[in-house]
Chain A
Amino acid sequence: MRYESPATVKDAVALLAKEKGKAFVLAGGTDLLVKMKAGMLEPDLVVDIKRIKGMRDIRKSASGFSIGAGTPCAALGESAALVKAWPGVVEAASLIGSKQVQGRCTMAGNLCNASPAADSVPALVAAGAKVVIAGPKGKRKIAVEDVPSGVGRTVLKKGEFIESVELPKKDTRGGDAYLRFIPRTEMDIAVVSAGVNLTLDAKGVITKARVSLGAVAPTVLLVGDAAKAIIGTKLDDDAKKKLAAACSAACKPIDDKRGTVEFRTEVAGVLARRAAEIAYARAGGK
């Protein structure tokens, strides 16, 4: 195995593109190194992207936030502006692993690992986040929900890697939230999770909504019917019931040691409802 730590995006793309063997990107390494040790992956080349300028920065602009792909999740909670704008995203990313894992793990890595139970992904999908992908043909920007193509698989092609995660500017009366169910209080993987992002008008009526679910299908789900169920309402009890029903209807979960199909289907609705209540309050709704 070779280890390279290029200084530019161009050099990183060139290294990844020309490698004839198996090449992997190293950001936080909290999935990559575990898989290497388990013998699941045997890289010929590891490209550490963290020496590239800006790769560990959180940049705020008029259009939102650009978060470098090497930014550890621990740094997200230290950005007061990011916490204020996207508390749900920060809370979701802060649920991954321990403090030690937080010091290394990244949202871009969480996304590329493509686990159905990735905590930061439903929150990013709800927020309408995009990723900038660098590759041999230049850069492209795609929605977070379009990155995973299956369990452990992504749409990234040879030579490509995620350079940054882009969060939009928060709406004036907007709010987001993320909740997951685990049988413990910390250090666990989501059995079911839900992310909700809402925008209200001056009267507290929901004008825009994005509802996402994790760990109930091979990839994260963006549930359009759940959003439709609450748009035009003030998140009254009837709307919440319809939201929960739409979420449960969208679930295609598996039975495993963490939970059954029935449990996941039921809890997806409950979590979406509770996350919507938090998001509604954060958006200024009463």
Chain B
Amino acid sequence: MSAVLVSTTINGDTVEFACQPDETLLDVLRNRLGLTGAKEGCGTGDCGACSVIIDGRLVCSCLVLGAEMDGKALETIEGMAEGEKLHPLQRQFIDHAALQCGICTPGFLIAAQALLRKNPDPNEEEIRFGLAGNLCRCTGYDKIVRAVQAAAKEMRGA
């Protein structure tokens, strides 16, 4: 297989990489670019641990080919904090103890960010549906929902 050359934007920075034509975006991020925030859980789009945002749309990076990324704008968990300053979602997840092992957390944060951009004031049901594509085996979800509610409130300045 001959490598595909890709030029893309990740968290605002121009990034160029070469990947195999059948290589997933998740593998490119983790194995070629050192961006290990997105995790591989199921690898089949069921668990959401590899969630990223491409051109404003929330997707599973395990179900995207790296070769598709040419000219796209990609957002990953690595771009969420501003330097040392955590995003309100990240801070509220810590304050609400909305994580235990942490494997699912980057995916939940990215999915929650995508949700709040579309709906800054979601009710509990909307949050649960919005995060239905993310699986967590530790928290029981309630703390995650409360953390998202608290972050949403903070971000609205309410």
Contact = CB atoms under 8 A, between A and B. Distances in A.
B45 to A, nearest CB: 6
16 contacts: A1-B22, A3-B65, A29-B65, A30-B45, A30-B63, A33-B24, A33-B62, A37-B43, A43-B22, A48-B65, A48-B67, A72-B57, A98-B134, A99-B130, A99-B133, A104-B63
A100 B51 contact: yes
Interface in B1-37: 1-2, 4, 21-22, 24
Contacts of A36: 22
A26 B65 contact: yes
Contacts of A104: 57, 59-60, 63-64
A146 B85 CA distance: 56
Contacts of A54: none
A34 B45 contact: yes
A283 to B, nearest CB: 28
Given A29-B65, A33-B65, A74-B57, A100 B21 contact: no
Interface string B118-143: 00000000000110111000000000
A44 to B, nearest CB: 10
Contacts of B132: 98-99, 186-187
A37 B60 CA distance: 14
A74 B111 CA distance: 14
Interface string A10-48: 000000000000000010011001101110000100101
Interface of A: 1-3, 5, 26, 29-30, 33-34, 36-38, 43, 46, 48, 50, 72, 74, 97-101, 103-104, 186-187
A186 B63 contact: no
Contacts of A101: 45, 60, 63, 133
B21 A46 contact: yes
Interface string B43-57: 111101001001001
A72 B109 CA distance: 22
B21 A37 contact: no
Contacts of A98: 45-46, 48, 132-134
Nearest to B114: A99
Contacts of A26: 65, 68
